[in-house]
């Protein structure tokens, strides 16, 4: 482990564009210079999307999101779900999630073009009927297929469930990413777990706690972490004044401290948009010393994103094993307006 900490001698400089919480909003027109989130998205080797692809998971929402992903100029586009993507969480949707389709006021005055099976299901739900489980399962799987069919794969899209995945780019860069769409229970939405449940760390010796199905591996096994929810204390602050509160997951923070990835993207907390350079330090608050990354508004608007170079030939390379770049990529704000910019980072990934 010690021989790898801070090593900058090997790797392939790779550009990664990061977004989250788009909630069926499309990038503004290329001519709209008042918004950074506009077409085309910044060109990159990898595009990461940290979930909340939709507002409430209708098929047309998924189709709009996939169209945006297909148009993005990136070789590989890695996508996870979030709590609003209720029709991608089969267990949740069958158990109670379908009831969120009783109303369409999540979209304000916008008319949502529902397909015939969706209209029939909506009528049944509004009348108090419980749809048949086979029908609901088929609907969930049809939505997942939008991200996994041949057309999506040909465009470089990879929809990822919770766990560890490895990819190799045409540049020769090979990296391992840990992904999870889950977050602590939040207002009865999808992909949730109770705060006292640790689904990311193996229990210690003598513990009777259950072993998680997909724990995060130790350093140096993971290059990137991609979760919908944030780790505790990192770009996860909600509220205002003396009523502010950190709502991230303590178990995710502990997992990040063990894994020490180069990059960690999440979303979920819209007001937490931003990035910090985290240095692992036992004497700092929560064991992590955080340095906020500045974002110049004019530069952000001009270049359609916030650009940061932490590769080995930058002025300040990332020290792998000592530091992690944490990014909250939420595109929409607290009022679901797409006012935030993508983050674009250059960093070294291992050579295959």
Structure tokens at 106: 């999540």
The answer for 104, left when phi > 0, alpha when psi is -120 to 50, beta otherwise, is alpha
| Segment holding 309, helix H or strand E | strand 306-309
What does the alpha-carbon distance between residue 98 and residue 109 come to, in Å, rounded to a whole number? 22
Whole-angstrom distance, CA of residue 228 vs CA of residue 49: 9
Q: What is the mean pLDDT of residues 22-27?
A: 96
- For the entire predicted model, the pTM comes to 0.95
Work out whether strand 157-159 and strand 74-79 pair parallel, antiparallel, or are unpaired: parallel
CA atoms within 13 A on the CB side of 311: 18
CA distance 209 to 185: 19
Cα angle value 61/67/72 (rounded, 5°): 130
Residues 306 and 300 sit within 8 Å (Cβ to Cβ): yes
Span 141-160, pLDDT tens digits: 999 999 999 999 999 999 99
Cα–Cα distance measured from residue 267 to residue 309, given in angstroms and rounded to the nearest whole number? 21
Alpha carbon distance 236, 312 (integer Å): 29
- Please tell me the predicted confidence (pLDDT) of residue 127: 87
pLDDT of residue 240: 82
Domains of the chain with CATH codes? 12-82+157-349 (3.60.21.10)
Query: CA quadruple 251, 83, 293, 263: dihedral positive or negative?
Result: positive
**Contacts with 274 (C-beta within 8 Å, 6 or more apart), sequence order:** 235, 292, 293, 295, 327, 328
pLDDT tens-place string over residues 292-318:
999 999 999 999 999 999 999 999 999
pLDDT in tens, 216-269: 999 999 999 999 999 999 999 998 878 889 999 999 999 999 999 999 999 999
Provide the pLDDT for residue 114.
Answer: 87
- pLDDT score of 10: 62
Return all residues near 236 (Cβ < 8 A) that are at least 6 apart. Answer: 230, 246, 247, 248, 269, 272, 328
pLDDT of residue 102: 85
Q: What percent of the chain has pLDDT over 70?
A: 97
Q: Are 232 and 248 in contact (CB under 8 A)?
A: yes
Residue 206 burial class via C-beta count within 10 angstroms: exposed 0-12, middle 13-18, buried 19 and up = exposed
Report the pLDDT value the prediction gives residue 7, as an integer from 0 to 100. 45
> Please, what is the angle between helix 133-148 and helix 59-71, to 10°?
10
Question: Above 60 in pLDDT, residue 4?
Answer: no
């Amino acid at each position: 482990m010690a021989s790898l900490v801070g090593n900058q001698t090997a790797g392939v400089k790779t550009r990664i564009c990061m977004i989250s919480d788009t909630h069926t909003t499309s990038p503004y027109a290329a001519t709209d210079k008042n918004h950074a989130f506009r077409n085309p998205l910044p060109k990159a080797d990898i595009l990461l999307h940290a979930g909340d692809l939709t507002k409430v998971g209708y098929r047309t929402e998924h189709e709009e999101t996939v169209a945006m992903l297909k148009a993005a100029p990136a070789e590989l586009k890695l996508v996870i779900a979030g709590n609003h993507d209720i029709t991608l969480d089969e267990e949740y949707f069958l158990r109670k999630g379908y009831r969120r389709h009783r109303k369409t006021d999540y979209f304000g005055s916008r008319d949502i073009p529902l397909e015939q099976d969706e209209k029939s299901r909506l009528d049944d739900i509004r009348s108090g009927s419980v749809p048949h489980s086979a029908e609901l399962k088929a609907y969930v799987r049809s939505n997942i297929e939008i991200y996994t069919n041949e057309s999506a794969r040909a465009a470089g899209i990879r929809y990822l469930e919770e766990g560890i995945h490895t990819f190799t780019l045409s540049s020769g860069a090979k990296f391992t990413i840990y992904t999870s769409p889950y977050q602590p229970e939040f207002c009865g939405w999808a992909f949730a777990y109770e705060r006292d449940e640790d689904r990311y760390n193996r229990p210690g010796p003598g513990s009777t706690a259950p072993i998680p199905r997909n724990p995060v591996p130790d350093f140096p096994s993971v290059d990137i972490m991609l979760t919908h929810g944030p780790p505790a204390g990192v770009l996860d602050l909600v509220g205002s004044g003396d009523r502010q509160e950190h709502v991230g997951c303590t178990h995710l923070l502990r997992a990040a401290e063990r894994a020490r990835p180069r990059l960690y993207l999440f979303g979920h907390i819209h007001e937490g948009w931003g990035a910090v350079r985290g240095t692992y330090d036992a004497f700092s608050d929560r064991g992590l010393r955080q340095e906020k990354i500045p974002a110049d508004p004019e530069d952000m608007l001009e270049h359609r994103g916030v650009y940061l170079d932490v590769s080995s030939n930058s002025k300040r390379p990332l020290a792998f094993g000592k530091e992690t770049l944490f990014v909250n990529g939420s595109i929409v704000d607290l009022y679901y307006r797409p006012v935030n910019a993508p983050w674009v980072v250059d960093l070294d990934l291992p050579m295959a």
